[in-house]
């Protein structure tokens, strides 16, 4: 692996300067250099989605993204979804409706669902739309039913006006 | 989708309410710390060098002299301070292979280094030379004693259950139907791979943390392998990303390996499996073959069952004998059989050992039995539902082990509620009609939109599942749980039972909170750490809530009684609890109460005859599924699932339904998608790219009906829920495919390849396309 490169990124809204070899996986850079361990490695080949993060608003498998491609990128990990202690509507729905069991897929699942909800704010996606949008994120615990329900519930307009996602 | 939930009884404040899962906040914010998330500072990475043949002798292990080994810790069997064994039921499995290799991917050498990249390179420079031996890779070859791998006949364990006179029963039956069923391996595929961190402590002991279900199993195994007394070994669970049985016994192996590397290097070592390694080397669900002969009267009364069960245990004994036992006991399904003979064996092969997986043998035997019930109905020309209605267990009935069912028997209720909610008979008529219409149109040369030849079908299955260890197993476990007051005057549950996603800590807190007059979130649950918590038995066998949860409830009642004894006033709310707790701490110091399992009087079990009360009580489930089959591609899509499951009492309805839905989807995966492919005894699809589990797009909407028929044995009437959902989907899918296509499959998974051959054999597919 060639020597490290130093890149400027925005991670969860904060400017960061990170150094790592260009072919190092974004997943490892986030976990080891930025100390954000929310994104997980489940398969290392882009099948399970546990490592999903938003890269310029688009969900990607961070195990397949070389760090060298990330100059100037805006990255959102699961750690960036809440505002302080206040959960996003989606996170709150996962908590209340049983969307998370063992929790290992949850960070990636929340990222993929945030991207879905951010695409069409204010609209409740159909069950099929949610299932298609999350098909790249494997969960072995829930049977997906409660995840799908939680995503749709989070998309419903709330009296407080809080936004479902915070993908930026 | 929809969950029909009984309304919580007003008298219960904590139980029956779906409070937020206590660990959910840390999981949705990414704050939960799994083993791979623990900071790496000062740690070495570990790796395992594995066998590349299925069977043979190890002639030599050489480290390439041209490679720089100076900073690499290298461990082989000679470095094991104690016995070279992974302690479990038998002591046949070595921690590291020594002179012979019995399966592919068996651990031989361990390496550790600071740099994981260097470690990968180092692995390539370990040369292992073998004298290969012809492996025994199938059940058939094992039974035929192609070579003898275990004992004198390759049979790890035989279980025989006999009731009535089966030969006479079969002779007297109007109709006898015979068939053979097969099922393959299944990989657990928890999304978090296995991992352990081991530290050699300054006092010459071991501290191991990691992803696991049973800390006390790991503790026992480490004591044996390191010849250490119990108090020198400490094992704690980190947040665990799924288990499903896959982290019941295998973590003892990984913990042993990490500990050996830490022992030799003197440095903390993290041993994380990657997905390839986890699929290739760790345990799977037992594959097997079941041959059934069953007799029935013309009116649909079941007379006699003869079931011959053979499971493939793989290369070492692991838990196979117990898996076989549960499978055999459930082989009659939830039906009255006046005569039954169940003969079950598990055999040795040169494949990686199979082990615990949700359901533990019961999904395999009830898959075969339920398929056979449908076959009997077809032979009689009877509605398969009516055949089930006529024979399903009721209170007072006797199971094949001679167990009389005294309470909480719900076979009929779950069946009727599932049929009603799914509109089974109406849908069956609709599909039959639509299929006939489609076929007529195709014969007339009118193709459907898109030219696809689609058929729909609906199928039903009924199962039961005994909760807790079999027979006298719970007596042998002698589980304990405890509760203490924290220094701040809050209750803390101490149990060796683990949270692996299923909701242990939340339901435990609910059960305790109910007795203490607190909100569940006020009850703390200690991290399972063998240095701090009592041995509550393993987190397996659908026993956590029913057995250990009952102990937790007992502790809470004892703590409450102690506090009330001190103050002379009732402890019924938080303020009263806090006052009493603080006073106790001031006046009497620490408060700790403990409860130990006591066998209910009525449970009698004879291990030698395999007769008696196999389980204190059974849970019951029925499931109806609708499928669509493409006759040309032979793909099966599951459109919908409805299931009613009697679990006694849903302490937390959302978590209970979550267990059911997750188990149902694993069952659907086993039925249709999940196939471990083998080449020379090695898994060749050890990737998520080619070992396919259901995605959200594959998964159907699942309608769950929680039925609450309480037992006197579990807390608030709760029975086991974790495993049963895995038992019921596969036979329902096979029945639905039979309805859609007329082809009754006998082997799962029903992959398109397998179904297409069956359709061709049935003349149901156009040839030349």
Instruction: Kindly determine whether residue A48 and residue B34, on different chains, have CB atoms separated by under 8 Å.
Output: no
Mean pLDDT of B339-357: 98
Residue in A closest to B276 by C-alpha: A43
- Measured between CA atoms, the residue of chain B closest to residue A43 is B275
Q: Tell me, what's the pLDDT at A168?
A: 35
CATH (one of 3.10.105.10, 1.10.150.120, 3.30.70.3270, 3.40.190.10) for A89-155: 1.10.150.120
User: Region B128-134: what's the mean pLDDT?
Assistant: 98
Residue B662: which of B286, B327, B354, B244 has the closest Cα? B244
pLDDT of residue A165: 44
Burial annotation B712-746 (CB, 10 A radius, 16+ → b, else e): ebbbbbbbbbbbbbbbbbbbbbbbbbbbbbebbbb
In the predicted model, what is the mean pLDDT of chain B? 96
Q: Which long-range contacts (CB under 8 A, 24 or more apart) does B289-292 make?
A: B289/B139, B289/B180, B289/B181, B289/B182, B290/B180, B290/B181, B290/B182, B290/B331, B290/B364, B290/B365, B290/B368, B291/B178, B291/B179, B291/B180, B291/B181, B292/B178, B292/B179, B292/B180, B292/B181, B292/B368, B292/B369, B292/B372
- pLDDT, mean of residues B297-319: 98
Choose from B4, B23, B27, B721 for mutation: most chain A CBs within 10 A.
Answer: B27
Is the pLDDT reported for residue B166 higher than 50? yes
Cα–Cα distance measured from residue A11 to residue A71, given in angstroms and rounded to the nearest whole number = 12
Q: Write down the pLDDT at residue B66.
A: 98
Q: Which two tokens stand for residue A9?
A: 């990124």
Q: Say whether A100 and B21 touch across the interface (CB within 8 A).
A: yes
pLDDT digits (tens, 9 = 90+) for B729-739: 999 999 999 99
B-interface mutation test, from A140, A142, A148, A150, most B Cβ less than 10 A away: A140
Over residues B44-55, the mean pLDDT reads 98
Judge whether residue B764 has pLDDT over 90: no
Nearest-Cα distance to chain B for A84, in Å, is 10
CB-based contacts of B151: which residues, under 8 Å, 6+ apart? none
Q: What is the pLDDT of residues B86-130, one digit of tens each?
A: 999 999 999 999 999 999 999 999 999 999 999 999 999 999 999
Q: Which residue has the tokens 């996003």?
A: A88
> What is the 3-class SS of B695-729, one letter each residue?
CCCCCCCEEEEEECCCCCCCHHHCCCCCCHHHHCH
CA distance A90 to B78: 53
Question: For residue A8, is pLDDT > 80?
Answer: yes
Q: What pLDDT score does A157 carry?
A: 80
| Residue in B638, B418, B629 with CA at minimum distance from that of residue A143 | B638
B10-15 mean pLDDT: 85
More confident residue, A164 or B270: B270
B697 and A103: CB-CB below 8 Å?
no
Name the residue of chain B whose CA is nearest to A136's CA.
Answer: B695
Instruction: Please tell me the predicted confidence (pLDDT) of residue B690.
Output: 97
The pLDDT of residue B2 = 53
Model confidence at B278: pLDDT above 50: yes
Round the CA-based radius of gyration of chain B to a whole number and report it.
27
Can you state the angle between helices B729-741 and B752-761, rounded to 10 degrees? 40
CA-nearest residue to B722 within chain A is A141
Residues of B in contact with A107 (CB under 8 A): 30
Interchain pair B502, A101: CB under 8 A? yes
Give pLDDT, residue A161. 44
Is residue B265 within 8 A of residue B73, CB to CB? The reply is yes
* Contact yes or no for B634/B755 (Cβ under 8 A): yes
Report H helices in chain A.
Answer: 26-28, 89-97, 106-119, 127-133, 145-155
Given an 8 Å threshold on Cβ–Cβ distance, is B654 in contact with A98?
A: yes
The residue-averaged pLDDT of B351-365 equals: 98
Q: Per residue in B211-238, pLDDT tens?
A: 999 999 999 999 999 999 999 999 999 9
pLDDT value, residue B299: 98
Per residue in B313-331, pLDDT (tens digit) is 999 999 999 999 999 999 9
Chains A & B: contacts with CB separation below 8 Å: 178
CB B496 within 8 A of CB B530: yes
Residues B352, B281: contact at Cβ < 8 Å? yes
- pLDDT, tens digit (0-9, with 9 covering 90-100), for A21-49: 999 999 999 999 999 999 999 999 999 99
Closest CA to A108 of A37, A159, A56, A160: A37
- Measured CA to CA in angstroms, residue B453 lies from B22, B183, B732, B760 at distances of 49, 28, 22, 14
> Could you give the domains of chain B?
3-32+490-596 (3.30.365.10), 36-134+189-281 (3.30.365.10), 139-187+284-367 (3.30.365.10), 409-467+615-761 (3.30.365.10)
Q: Taking 70 as the threshold, does the pLDDT of residue A167 lie above it?
A: no
Residue of A32, A50, A135 lying closest to B697 (CB–CB): A135
Q: Higher-confidence residue: A66 or B446?
A: A66
Report the gap between the CA of B23 and the closest CA in chain A (Å).
9
Q: Which residue is associated with the tokens 């081991």?
A: B198
Sheet with B302-314, side-by-side order of all strands: B155-163, B339-348, B302-314, B288-296, B175-183, B747-748
Place of tokens 């709150």: A92
pLDDT digits 0-9 by tens, B577-617: 999 999 999 999 999 999 999 999 889 999 999 999 999 99
Q: Do A142 and B25 touch (CB under 8 A)?
A: no
The alpha-carbon radius of gyration of chain A (Å, integer) is: 16
Q: Which is more confidently placed, B31 or A1?
A: B31
The answer to whether B435 touches B423, Cβ cutoff 8 Å, is no
ipTM (interface pTM): 0.96
Q: What is the mean pLDDT of residues B552-579?
A: 97
Nearest to B464 by CA among B707, B180, B626: B707
Task: Give the gap in angstroms from C-alpha B655 to the nearest C-alpha of chain A.
Answer: 7
pLDDT band at B765 (very low <50, low <70, confident <90, very high): very low
The predicted pLDDT at position B450 comes to 81
Q: Does A64 touch chain B (CB under 8 A)?
A: no
Per-residue pLDDT tens over the stretch B674-685: 999 999 999 999
pLDDT tens, residue by residue, A124-136: 999 999 999 999 9
Q: Is A119 on the interface with B (CB under 8 A)?
A: no
Contacts of B62 (CB under 8 A, 6+ apart): B126, B127, B128, B129
What is the predicted pLDDT for the residue at B164?
98
- Give B191's contacts in chain A (Cβ within 8 Å): 40, 42, 48, 50, 102, 104-105, 138-140
Question: Coil, strand or helix: which one is B439?
Answer: helix
Q: DSSP string of B343-393?
A: EEEEEE-SSPPP---TTTTHHHHHHHHHHHHHHHHHHHT--HHHHHHHHB-
> Phi/psi at B544 (nearest 5 deg)?
-55, -55
A165 and chain B in contact, CB less than 8 A: no
Domain A5-80 has CATH 3.10.20.30: yes
Yes or no, beta carbons of A102 and B501 under 8 Å apart: yes
Q: Does the structure show a pLDDT above 70 at B768?
A: no
| pLDDT more than 70, % of chain B | 98
Distance CA B608, CA B568 (A): 51
CB contact under 8 A, B191 and A140: yes
Let me know: does B530 contact B573? Beta carbons within 8 Å.
no
Residue of A nearest to B21 (CA): A95
CB proximity A37 to B under 8 Å: yes
Q: pLDDT band at residue B11, thresholds of 50, 70 and 90?
A: confident
Other CB atoms closer than 10 Å to residue B297's CB: what's the count?
14
In chain A, where are the structural domains located?
A: 5-80, 89-155
């Amino acid at each position: 692996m060639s020597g490290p490169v130093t890149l400027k990124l925005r991670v969860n809204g904060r400017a960061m300067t990170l150094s790592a070899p260009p072919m190092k996986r974004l997943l490892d850079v986030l976990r080891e250099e930025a100390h954000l361990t929310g994104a997980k490695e489940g398969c290392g080949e882009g099948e399970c989605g546990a490592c999903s993060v938003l890269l310029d608003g688009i969900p990607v498998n961070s195990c397949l993204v070389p760090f060298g491609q990330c100059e100037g990128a805006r990255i959102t990990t699961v750690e960036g979804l809440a505002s302080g202690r206040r959960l996003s509507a989606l996170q709150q729905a996962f908590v209340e409706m049983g969307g998370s069991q063992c929790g290992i897929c949850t960070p990636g699942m929340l990222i993929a669902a945030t991207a879905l909800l951010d695409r069409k704010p204010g609209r409740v996606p159909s069950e099929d739309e949610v299932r298609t949008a999350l098909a790249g994120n494997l969960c072995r615990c829930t049977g997906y039913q409660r995840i799908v329900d939680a995503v749709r519930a989070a998309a419903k307009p709330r009296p407080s006006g809080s936004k479902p996602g915070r993908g930026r | 989708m929809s969950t029909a939930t009984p309304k919580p009884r007003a008298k219960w404040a904590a139980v029956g309410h779906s409070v937020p899962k206590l660990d959910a906040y840390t999981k949705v914010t990414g704050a939960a710390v799994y083993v791979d998330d623990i900071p790496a500072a000062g740690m070495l990475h570990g790796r395992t060098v594995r066998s590349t043949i299925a069977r043979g002798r190890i002639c030599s292990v050489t480290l390439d002299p041209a490679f720089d080994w100076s900073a690499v810790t290298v461990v082989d069997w000679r470095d094991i301070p104690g016995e070279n064994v992974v302690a479990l039921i038998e002591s046949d499995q070595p921690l590291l292979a020594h002179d012979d290799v019995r399966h592919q991917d068996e651990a031989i050498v361990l390496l550790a280094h600071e740099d994981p990249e260097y470690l990968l390179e180092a692995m390539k420079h370990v040369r292992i030379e073998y004298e290969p031996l012809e492996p025994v890779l199938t059940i058939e070859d094992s039974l035929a004693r192609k070579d003898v791998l275990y004992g004198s006949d390759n049979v790890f364990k035989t279980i025989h259950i006999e009731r009535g006179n089966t030969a006479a029963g079969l002779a007297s039956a109007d109709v006898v139907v015979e068939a053979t069923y097969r099922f393959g391996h299944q990989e657990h595929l928890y999304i978090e791979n296995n991992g352990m961190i081991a530290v050699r402590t300054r006092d010459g002991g071991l501290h191991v943390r990691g992803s696991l279900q049973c800390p006390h199993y790991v503790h026992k195994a480490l004591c044996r392998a390191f010849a250490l007394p119990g108090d020198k070994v400490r094992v704690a669970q980190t947040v665990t990303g799924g288990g499903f049985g896959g982290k019941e016994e295998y973590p003892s192996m990984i913990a042993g390996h990490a500990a050996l590397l830490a022992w030799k290097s003197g440095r903390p070592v993290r041993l994380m499996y990657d997905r390839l390694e986890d699929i290739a080397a760790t345990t799977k669900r037992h594959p097997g073959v079941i041959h059934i002969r069953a007799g029935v009267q013309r009116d649909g009364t079941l007379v006699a069952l003869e079931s011959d069960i053979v499971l493939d245990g793989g290369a070492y004994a692991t838990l196979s004998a117990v898996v076989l036992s549960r499978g055999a006991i459930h082989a009659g399904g939830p039906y009255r059989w006046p005569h039954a003979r169940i003969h079950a064996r598990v055999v040795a092969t040169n494949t990686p050992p199979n082990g615990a997986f949700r359901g533990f043998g019961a999904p395999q035997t009830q898959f075969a039995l339920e398929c056979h019930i449908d076959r009997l109905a077809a032979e009689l020309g009877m509605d398969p539902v009516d055949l089930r209605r006529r024979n399903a267990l009721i209170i007072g009935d006797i199971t094949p082990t001679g167990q009389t069912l005294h309470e909480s028997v719900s076979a009929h209720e779950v069946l009727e509620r599932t049929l009603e909610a799914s509109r089974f008979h109406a849908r069956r008529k609709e599909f039959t009609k639509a299929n006939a219409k489609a076929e007529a149109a195709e014969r007339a040369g009118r193709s459907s939109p898109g030219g696809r030849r689609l058929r729909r079908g609906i199928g039903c299955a009924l199962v039961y599942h005994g909760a807790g260890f079999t027979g006298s197993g719970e007596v042998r476990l002698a589980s304990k749980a405890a509760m203490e007051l924290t220094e701040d005057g809050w209750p803390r549950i101490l149990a060796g039972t683990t949270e692996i996603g299923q909701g242990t800590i939340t339901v435990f807190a609910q059960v305790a909170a109910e007795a203490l007059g607190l909100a569940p979130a006020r009850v703390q649950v200690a991290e399972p750490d063998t240095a701090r918590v009592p041995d509550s038995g393993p987190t397996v066998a659908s026993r956590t809530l029913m057995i250990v949860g009952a102990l937790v409830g007992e502790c809470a009642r004892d703590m409450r009684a102690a506090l009330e004894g001190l103050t002379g006033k009732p402890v019924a709310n938080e303020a009263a609890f806090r006052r009493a707790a603080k006073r106790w701490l001031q006046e009497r110091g620490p408060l700790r109460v403990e409860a130990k399992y006591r066998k209910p009087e009525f449970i009698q079990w004879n291990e030698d005859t395999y007769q008696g009360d196999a389980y204190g009580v059974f849970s019951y489930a029925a499931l109806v599924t609708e499928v669509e089959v493409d006759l040309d591609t032979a793909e099966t899509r599951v459109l919908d699932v409805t299931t009613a499951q009697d679990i006694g009492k849903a302490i937390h309805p959302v978590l209970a339904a979550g267990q059911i839905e997750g188990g149902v989807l694993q069952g659907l995966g086993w039925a249709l998608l999940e196939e471990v492919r083998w080449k020379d005894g090695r898994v060749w699809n050890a990737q998520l790219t080619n070992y396919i589990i259901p995605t959200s797009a594959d998964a159907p909407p699942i309608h769950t009906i929680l039925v609450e028929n309480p037992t006197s044995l579990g807390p608030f009437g709760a029975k086991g829920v974790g495993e049963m959902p895995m038992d019921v989907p596969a036979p329902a899918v096979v029945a639905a495919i039979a309805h859609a296509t007329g082809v009754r499959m006998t082997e799962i998974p029903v992959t398109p390849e397998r179904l297409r051959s069956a359709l061709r054999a049935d003349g149901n597919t156009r040839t030349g396309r």
